[in-house]
Amino acid sequence: MIEDASQGISFVCNNIAEYGGDPNRIYLMGQSAGAHIAACTIVEQAIKEAGEGESTSWSLSQIKAYFGLSGGIMEGEESLRRFSPEVMVQDPNIGNAVSLLPNMVLFHGTGDYSIPSDQSTSFAKTLKRLGVKAEAILYEGKTHTDVFLQDPMRGGNDDMFDDLVAYIHAGDAEALSRDATAPPRRRLVPEFMLKLAHAVSPF
């Protein structure tokens, strides 16, 4: 899965210019298991780039930030040191690799019972201790799916979306100006469908 993710990132890095994108302004985001796989992928990439002579098809320097949403497996027992990004970054043998990591922003709801929010806070704390620019942003009472599914469907306030856009548009006066005058976001689905989704959702 990590190799698949790396190949996908490589395609974007090497082809985004053909679609009008900036190959040096790419943001990587994953949710839940996707956040874990994406984090493992960039740690693996950092290890490759810090190694001697190993060729890579993309560079971490192209990734402006990593956004991990409701991510899990951020710590682990000794047997998981190959699969936990939090354990991997603490390996003293890869100190140079850690310095290559991009800005790491972790979003998590405190009401997430599938993957507790302390997974993100612990990972962010470890990254900062190692000198990586990292931050955990928590949303009080939000569940595993509220921040990326139910909140956008409801319309109105969508704190995670606002925080995400603020990171991406930071320092871009034109984009910030457009954000300030954007119309309110509308609900994506009728209210009765939201009630139905809550009735059948385990979250």
Structural domain contains residue 90? yes
Please name the amino acid found at residue 95: G
Structural domain contains residue 170? no
Q: What is the pLDDT of residues 86-129, one digit of tens each?
A: 888 988 888 789 999 999 999 999 999 999 999 999 999 999 99
Q: Which entry of 36, 70, 117, 144 is annotated as an active-site residue?
A: 144
**pLDDT band with cut points at 50, 70 and 90 for residue 199:** low
Q: What is the pLDDT of residues 35-60, one digit of tens each?
A: 999 999 999 999 999 986 677 899 99
What is residue 149's predicted lDDT score, i.e. its pLDDT? 84
Beta bridge partners of 113: none
The torsion defined by the Cα of 90, 1, 3 and 132, in degrees rounded to 10, comes to -30
The helix (H) or strand (E) run that includes residue 107 is strand 103-109
**For residue 106, how many C-alpha atoms fall within 13 Å in the half-sphere facing its CB?**
31
pLDDT at 31 over 80: yes
This prediction's pTM: 0.85
Please name the amino acid found at residue 88: M
**pLDDT band with cut points at 50, 70 and 90 for residue 197:** low
Structural domain contains residue 203? no
DSSP annotation string for 111-171: T-SSS-THHHHHHHHHHHHTT--EEEEEETT--TTIIIIIHHHH-S--HHHHHHHHHHHTT
Nearest to 110 by CA among 84, 136, 76, 77: 136
Q: Which entry of 6, 36, 84, 112 is annotated as an active-site residue?
A: 112
Structural domain contains residue 179? no
Range 127-136 average pLDDT: 96
Q: What's the structural domain count of the chain? A: 1
Structural domain contains residue 190? no
CB 147, CB 107: distance < 8 Å:
yes
DSSP state of 91: -
Distance of CA 146 to the CA centre of its chain: 16
CATH number at residue 78: 3.40.50.1820
Determine whether 158 is an active site residue: no
127 is in which domain, residue-wise? 2-143
Structural domain contains residue 187? no
Q: Which entry of 6, 32, 70, 84 is annotated as an active-site residue?
A: 32
CB 16, CB 8: distance < 8 Å:
no
Structural domain contains residue 161? no
Structural domain contains residue 150? no
Nearest to 130 by CA among 90, 84, 93: 90
Determine whether 70 is an active site residue: no
Q: Output the 3-class SS for 40-58.
A: HHHHHHHHHHHCCCCCCCC
Determine whether 57 is an active site residue: no
What strands lie across the sheet with 103-109, from one edge to the other? 26-31, 63-69, 103-109, 134-139
